[in-house]
Chain A
Amino acid sequence: MSTDVIPPGKAAIAEQQDEGRESHRQSFLGYLLAKIGGAAISLVMVVILGFFAFRILPGDPVRKIAQSRPMTAEQIAQLRHQYGLDQPMLAQFWNYLTNIATGNFGESYVYGKPVSELIAQYFWPTIALTGTSAILAITLGLWMGQLAAWRSNSPYDQVATGTSLVLWSVPTFWLALLLLMIFGGTLHWFPTGGMVSTGIPTGTPEYFLNVLWHLVLPVITMVAVVYAQYLLVMRASLLEEMSADYLTTARAKGLTEDLVRRRHAVPNALLPTVTLVFMHIGGLIGGAVTVETVFSWPGLGKLTYEAISGPDTPLLQGTFVVFSAIIIVMNLFADLLYRQLDPRVRRA
């Protein structure tokens, strides 16, 4: 009992009140730099971890390459030397660091191409897939979540929440295969894999529509599996907000129920979801590995899957760093956005 803490000195707070607004605006630059600095440190840790994590993986990449074609011992030694694998671990680490500093992630063992070139090639398909899925899942989840909260315990709420939970608990690969078999295999409504049919010139409207057609099944899979978390977060957040006193004020002012919800309750309930939404985008990218593999979508997820079966260490390092960087940047963005949205945090 004696270690309880009294709230911070009221005096200090009261005296700050008048000048506080000026000073917190000035401190925005400091806040921005601190956040960017934190993100940079995380990124450096990821880069270091990326090197060691894949050295622990079992399997010798050179032996794997040697299996595919007959090679002499000298050729194997030559290959080891070429990839720098004959050097001590610390020297390899140093090379890795200096190379990354210049944007060089090394050369893929399997593809025989620079990793950065491969990543650049597979990056945009992944963005198209996960970006579309994220936008749809977030919109659908938040919209259904706020309706579910507003009509909590109604049949709508029970059906919406129940359905989303069932889809959430379904394994991603199982749902992907099921959709593939029914709509791709049996009904032939959608293609069974790939991003674009062969023989269509890039850049034409026809190409664009063809890609969209290929996107349908993978996007449905990803959205179905993840929208539940947005729905549940939004539902809980709005339920908490619904008993707030300022909503009574809004009603007393003569707002319609619809306006009370849209103008007052939902914007406030959205605040706590912002951080979660952006954090979950990281999880979405992780889920892309499964979906891309099942639908042969030429993205980073599929590339990673192929790299693991090598193990194609430089490629793994590359995708690992890129995935992590996306998540770190998203979190940084969430922090900055939240600060912009919630005036109460701007002071902190």
Chain B
Amino acid sequence: MPDLVFDNISIVYSRRSRTGTTPVKAVSNVSLTLPAGGTLGIAGESGSGKSTLAMSVLRLLPKSATITGRILYGDQDIQDLSFGQLRTVRWAEAAVVFQGAMHALNPVRTVGWQILEALELHVKERWATREARVARMKDLLAMVDLPTDKSEAYPHELSGGQKQRVMVAMALACEPDVIIADEPTTALDVIVQEQVLNVLHSLVTERGISLLMISHDLSALATICDRIAVMKDGVVREVGDAVSICTAATDPYTRKLAQAFPVIGDPASRLKPQSKPIWEVAADGGTDGLEQTNSDPHEVVLEARGVSVNFRSHGRTVHAVRSVDLTCHRAEITALVGQSGSGKTTLARTILGLQEPNAGGQVLFRGEPLKLTKRGLREYRRNVQLVFQDQFAALNPKVSVYESISEGLRIRKYDGDEYAKVCESLEACEMSPASEYLDVLPQELSGGQRQRVVIAGALAIEPSALIADEPVASLDASVRGELLGLFLALKRRMGMTALVITHDLGLAWNIADTVAVMYNGEIVERGTVEKVLLDPQHEYTKKLLHATPKIPTLA
């Protein structure tokens, strides 16, 4: 079994624009080695060139990419292979686990068909007949803990974790020596992520397959990989064994990446997301927003009382939310934590008045029951605003930042100084000087900046509470910390009340005051963050905590 060696690899994309083609360097002078049977992780944020590097192994890059340097598989330079030779290397010797939860599977073919296709392309003695191939396909599904009748399923009929396991099964089909896993667990829940990582881990150790894994999540890499390389802007910043990268990094960027995901229970990260040096947060957090207002500090802003929601689907009743009680106090951040399918989004919709609860349940705003009339809802939504996960979709791509934010003000017939108000909201979201951003279109902003604009738009109309659905799930680690810092600062400075919906317990540890854990439509545990996360009572909370990948410590 050969080693995989990147020898001084540089990759340049030629980007076509109106003024001609300009070269864009994605990877610069990278040298890395994946020893036979070893595991190597490449960590980095979007744009770091990590996926480009991984795709270069099987020459899967678009034609606009030019590679210099050598990619050695054993003694053979991959780039010298003819296309026919390359096709025999693809999948039979090196297979890829794509981010299958997204669109890596053909949507109109059954998953069994797609696995069989790989087997038919690389027929070996062990699966020379059709019967043998079908049998092997079923074995593969069993290997990743999927029932064999799932071979008849289409990708859209499977959950994200199941699709990802199909991807793993497909990658293993032709007994490759190397597996390249590109963000194999991104967009999966912690519990499903743990399952997929376990499957990968056991396969790698049991079969001696070499694994090249790419992820933005250092803690996920650290759970399987022996060695980790950290990339930024196309350059490898640091390479080393997993533990020392996570705990004793010499490079400041690596350290920032390692600290972006908090260690639950570590007081250093409690209410202090890694956004800026700690002294700044401390100075910022000195004033308590509550002192500026005369209202009751323990006022309940939002409350759900005995809320149940049923859906009827194909003649069956689905209990999405079952008699839930939830309270959000003034100037507190409440985290609603649960897996997808736990009913947390349905509960949020109900609290927003987008979904009517079953009879008997009630949503209260400042002690008043929510009126589901058009007028009642309009008044209510002036007070309670929503921030989505997807900042790309939440902003109209053709409208400037100023227009996006002022739109809400105009709908509410704001009679003050609109320009001043927009600038004030932007500055509150740490986008200063605000005047520089007013005419900018969303596409010119980074993901983090876009999310700030969305929050600024919500804040402009001075709501009493903010409901945020996975506000940082699609952001890079370093930006994540900054945004969470913003939530904390808004709470402290303006006494903002927030309900944050997330699957990420680390986020709750970072910013929340209280946490509610939701499972199968019920809130199984709630209380202060310290109490719930450090001394969990319910089995499910324990399971969630256990599944959260941890940065290894030397201790």
Contacts and interface: CB of A to CB of B under 8 A. Distances in A.
Interface of A: 1-7, 9-17, 19-21, 23-24, 27, 244-246, 248-256, 263-264, 267-268, 271, 341-344, 347
Interface stretch (B152-160, B418-426, B536-544): B152-160
A11 B108 contact: no
Contacts of B118: 253-254
A12 to B, nearest CB: 4
Contacts of A341: 108
A20 B157 contact: yes
Contacts of A271: 108
A267 B388 CA distance: 35
A249 B60 CA distance: 9
Most chain A beta-carbon neighbours within 10 Å: one of B98, B314, B457, B521: B314
A246 B316 contact: no
B107 A268 contact: yes
A246 B106 contact: yes
B320 A9 contact: yes
A255 B121 contact: yes
A14 to B, nearest CB: 3
Interface in B85-110: 87-92, 95-96, 98-99, 102-108
Secondary structure class of chain A's binding surface, majority of residues = helix
A303 to B, nearest CB: 42
B388 A11 contact: no
A248 B56 CA distance: 12
A8 B388 CA distance: 14
A342 B106 CA distance: 11
27 contacts: A1-B385, A2-B382, A6-B386, A11-B318, A11-B320, A11-B342, A11-B345, A11-B346, A13-B341, A15-B320, A16-B318, A17-B158, A21-B153, A27-B314, A244-B103, A249-B104, A249-B105, A250-B106, A251-B90, A252-B58, A252-B90, A254-B90, A255-B117, A256-B87, A267-B108, A268-B107, A343-B156
Most chain B beta-carbon neighbours within 10 Å: one of A9, A14, A251: A9
A6 B158 contact: no
A343 B104 contact: no
B251 interface: no
Contacts of B340: 10, 14
B354 A347 contact: no
B495 to A, nearest CB: 21
Given A12-B320, A21-B157, A23-B314, A253 B98 contact: no
A347 B108 contact: no
Nearest to B157: A21
Interface residues of B, number: 63
Contacts of B157: 17, 20-21, 343, 347
Contacts of B60: 248, 251-252
B4 to A, nearest CB: 15
5 nearest A-B residue pairs (beta carbon):
A14-B341, A2-B381, A254-B90, A23-B314, A11-B320
A238 B309 CA distance: 42
Given A17-B159, A244-B103, A12 B318 contact: yes
B314 A20 contact: yes
Nearest to A247: B106
Interface of B: 55, 58, 60, 87-92, 95-96, 98-99, 102-108, 117-118, 121-122, 153-154, 156-159, 309, 311, 313-316, 318, 320-321, 340-343, 345-346, 348-349, 352, 354-355, 378, 381-382, 385-386, 388, 394, 407-408, 457-458, 469, 521
Contacts, number: 145
B106 A252 contact: no
B314 A343 contact: no
Contact of B154 (A4, A23, A343): A343
Given A249-B104, A344-B156, A4 B386 contact: yes
Given A17-B158, A21-B157, A249-B98, A5 B318 contact: no
Contacts of A250: 106
Given A4-B394, A251-B60, 8 more contacts: A2-B382, A11-B346, A12-B318, A19-B316, A244-B103, A245-B102, A256-B87, A347-B156
Contact of A245 (B95, B98, B320): B98
A268 B108 contact: yes
A14 B157 CA distance: 10
Given A1-B386, A11-B346, A253-B121, A246 B153 contact: no
A10 B318 contact: no
Contacts of B104: 245-246, 248-249
A2 B409 CA distance: 12
Most chain B beta-carbon neighbours within 10 Å: one of A13, A249, A253: A253
A258 to B, nearest CB: 11
B527 to A, nearest CB: 23
Contacts of A24: 314
B117 A253 contact: yes
Contacts of B321: 11
A1 B342 contact: no
Nearest to A265: B106
Contacts of A6: 345, 348-349, 352, 354, 386, 388, 469
A340 to B, nearest CB: 11
A2 B385 contact: yes
